[in-house]
Amino acid sequence: MKKLLIIILLVFFISGIGYSQNLMRVNNNPAINADYNNLQDANDNASIGDTIYIEGSETEYEGAKINKMLTIIGPGYLLSDNPKTQANKLEAKFNSDIHFNAGSAGSTIAGCNLSYSGGIYINVDGIQVIRCFFAVVQFDTQATVRNILIHQNYITHGIWSPASSIMANNVVISNNIIDGFVSFPSTSGPIQIANNVFSATPNFSINCYNSTIQNNIFCKENIDPITNKTGNTINNNILAANGTNANGNQYNINMSNVFTAYNDFSPEISTDGKWQLKNGSPAIGAGVNGVDCGVFGGAKPYVLSGLPNLPHIYEATIPATATSGDGLPVTIKVKSGQ
């Protein structure tokens, strides 16, 4: 495992990621000589613009309060669910929330797993949440939060602003799998909600204003999940709910005809791969300008397992010992980021 980690880091450096001034490593395995063993200490000692790479671990990490502009990158989530993810299947899992507080405007978090209950709390402008697995994004205390990107994530609960006094302005919610709701007060907007898949849950709804809601797939039956508030433009969505087709919206759609493995819970079906469109799906080409509806449509489709946009080793053969003649013959297979 240590040899594989060294090779992974070598690929990481050679790739020329260009994210920051410095790269800091976080690993809470005592046998690994990383820069820090938790995200909070890495934040506290980082400089503005640094990248913090959270390495996969068998032990969960504590959450953190981020107060600097940083790029935080983990290896992805559901790594054992899909083929050719990472050779090392350990994920950067957190057991508590991550808060983006004053000073952290412009930060990005990607490839991290905050589990089914963890949240990302946003109190500043310009935060990008990309390719993460978590329960909720909450706009927390600042009166107005602007220029937020929530993209290519797996979200088990929802995205919301809990108080009417907290306004979300210029928010893009795109290409996410959302097993829950989106809710903002009437003072918020504009908000773009595009190319998401909303799976069916009791809390499933969109309740917002001044929003563009397009190219999504809504799996809940019987009840129209979109509450049409003031200022909304709702078009080219695929819905299981009863309704009358208009503005490119298609109602009364059987979701078994949309996805490759809808309601298939077989072990060989990946948790996020099941939302890929099947051949002949009514969502193919049904979006605005002829794009596919759902998370795998649009300009920047969902990436299985939330793999960061970096080269990654998906297969490695590393002998346990080396010889004086042959050295250590290592075979690795690397995919470029996407």
Q: Is 141 exposed, middle or buried (0-12, 13-18, 19+ CB in 10 A)?
A: middle
Nearest 5°: the CA angle 143, 145, 150 is 145
For residue 228, the Cα-to-chain-centroid distance in whole angstroms is 26
The pLDDT tens digits for 122-137 are 999 999 999 999 999 9
pLDDT at 34 over 90: yes
d(Cα 182, Cα 311) in Å, to the nearest integer? 33
User: Is residue 86 a contact partner of residue 12, using CB atoms and an 8 Å limit?
Assistant: no
User: Is residue 120 a contact partner of residue 107, using CB atoms and an 8 Å limit?
Assistant: no
Q: 43 vs 58, 100, 101, 311, CA distance in Å?
A: 22, 11, 12, 24
pLDDT of residue 6: 44
The pLDDT tens digits for 227-275 are 666 789 999 999 998 888 999 999 999 999 999 998 877 777 899 999 9
d(Cα 131, Cα 112) in Å, to the nearest integer? 8
d(Cα 230, Cα 209) in Å, to the nearest integer? 5
Q: 92 vs 11, 130, 158, CA distance in Å?
A: 18, 14, 21
pLDDT of residue 227: 65
CB neighbours of 323 closer than 8 A, spacing ≥ 6?
none
Q: Following DSSP, what letter does each residue of 190-222 receive, concatenated?
A: -EEEES-EE---TT-EEEESSEEEES-EE---S
User: Is residue 54 a contact partner of residue 72, using CB atoms and an 8 Å limit?
Assistant: yes
Largest CA distance in the chain: 74
For the entire predicted model, the pTM comes to: 0.88
Q: Following DSSP, what letter does each residue of 51-105 receive, concatenated?
A: EEEE---SSPBP-EEE-S--EEE---S-TTTSSSS-SS----BBSS-EEE-TT-T
- Name the strand (E) or helix (H) holding 265: none
Under DSSP, is residue 5 helix (H, G, I), strand (E, B) or coil?
Answer: helix
Higher pLDDT, 226 or 128: 128
Under DSSP, is residue 291 helix (H, G, I), strand (E, B) or coil?
Answer: coil
Higher pLDDT, 169 or 104: 104
* Residue 241: closest CA among 293, 200, 211: 200
d(Cα 191, Cα 229) in Å, to the nearest integer? 13
pLDDT at 189 over 90: no
What's the mean pLDDT in 94-100?
97
pLDDT of residue 204: 67
pLDDT at 48 over 80: yes
Q: 55 vs 12, 32, 88, CA distance in Å?
A: 12, 10, 10
User: Is residue 219 a contact partner of residue 240, using CB atoms and an 8 Å limit?
Assistant: yes
d(Cα 332, Cα 321) in Å, to the nearest integer? 16
d(Cα 159, Cα 97) in Å, to the nearest integer? 14
Q: Give the total residue count for the chain.
A: 338
Residue whose structure tokens are 């590393």: 318
